[in-house]
Amino acid sequence: MRLSAFSIVDSVGPVQSEGRDRHREVVALAEAAEAGGLDTIWIAEHHFQGGGLCPSPPILLAACAERTRRLRLGSMVSVLPFHEPVALAEEYALLDRLSGGRLNLGVGSGYLASEFEGFGIDPADKRERFDRALDTLRRAFAGEEVQVDRPGSRPVRLSVRPIQHPHPPIWIAVQRREALPFVAARGVSAALIPYATIGGIEELRTQIAEYRSHLPPGSRAGVSVGLHVYAGDRPDLARAALQRYLDSRLATHSTFYAEKVRHHPEHASAESIERSGFALFGTPREVAEGLERFRGIGVDEVLGIFDFGGLEAREAQSSARALGSARAPFATV
């Protein structure tokens, strides 16, 4: 089971009041992740609100690429309905080239109403836009002729293609259980953020088993799961930061999490999320041991959310380094 770092690049609590540079903090987190032996730095795409300050993952990931040598670089996710697919393919192909073939491409269809409103896109069209864009990306990366999504365009081929052939590995973010069979049938990996949609670890186990049952024979696709984690001697700081983060998600009308809380109000508290197992706070060894439970239910990669809710940057970076080092004895179990 791999351990990675995942940053939503949120601006919550102290981040807002102290004017911190969240983008440079993410680059520093990438350096800490590499020093700790983590696998990937994943970065979320968001627009028009402080719940996420990275509108362009390729740019921030390129900065991370320049400060690392081994760490893989992932978008989690690139919101396909917001972009012209051929232009997006060019950007990510260039990133794969600049990084020496280290790109992981996570994609999704979006879920925040404010972002769709900002782009003037009808959410009812997002599935069709997503499917068309993903098909275009895969064909463009493979060197096929594709059509730019604008009137009067002509068929084109990418002049810059990714190092990884036929394309970088692909993940699709899954928020609804009924989407799992369709993602699996594509033969691509699935990414789950269970605090927002899933009640507990046994429910997560069931969903992972369902996904695997629909994978094509011989597929190497897997499941990545996002968890809030803190490995250090001040877990009280992490619990307060998680509560600030959860409050901000509800304030920005994070669709799936808000729906979960509407049915189960107790999940609005950091204490409840930690009790469910979807947040792990404690000493590096305690958190490393807690991660092993996820290996046991079939998780292939934990996306450790280290920097959340205004937690001090040095605490997040130290946590990533410490957890990576503490987890080493367990990594090959």
Residues 6+ away with beta carbon under 8 Å from 333: 292, 295
**Successive 10-residue mean pLDDT values, the chain, 333 residues:** 97 84 98 98 96 97 98 98 98 98 98 95 97 98 95 95 98 95 97 95 98 96 98 97 94 82 90 96 97 96 98 98 82 44
User: Which amino acid, residue 114?
Assistant: S
- CA angle 198/207/37 to nearest 5° reads 80
Residue 311 CB coordination number (10 Å) = 26
User: Which amino acid, residue 20?
Assistant: R
Position 331 scores a pLDDT of 54
39 φ, ψ to 5°? -85, -45
Position 256 scores a pLDDT of 86
* CATH number, domain 2-330, options 3.20.20.30, 2.40.50.140, 3.30.750.24, 3.10.270.10: 3.20.20.30
Position 18 scores a pLDDT of 83
β pairing state of 301-305 and 72-79? unpaired
**Region label for 303, one of left (φ > 0), alpha (ψ between -120 and 50) or beta (otherwise):** beta
Position 333 scores a pLDDT of 37
Position 15 scores a pLDDT of 86
Position 332 scores a pLDDT of 42
Residues 6+ away with beta carbon under 8 Å from 242: 228, 270, 273, 274, 279, 308, 309
The residue ranges of every structural domain in the chain are: 2-330
- CA angle 87/91/97 to nearest 5° reads 140
Q: Which helix (H) or strand (E) holds 183?
A: helix 180-185
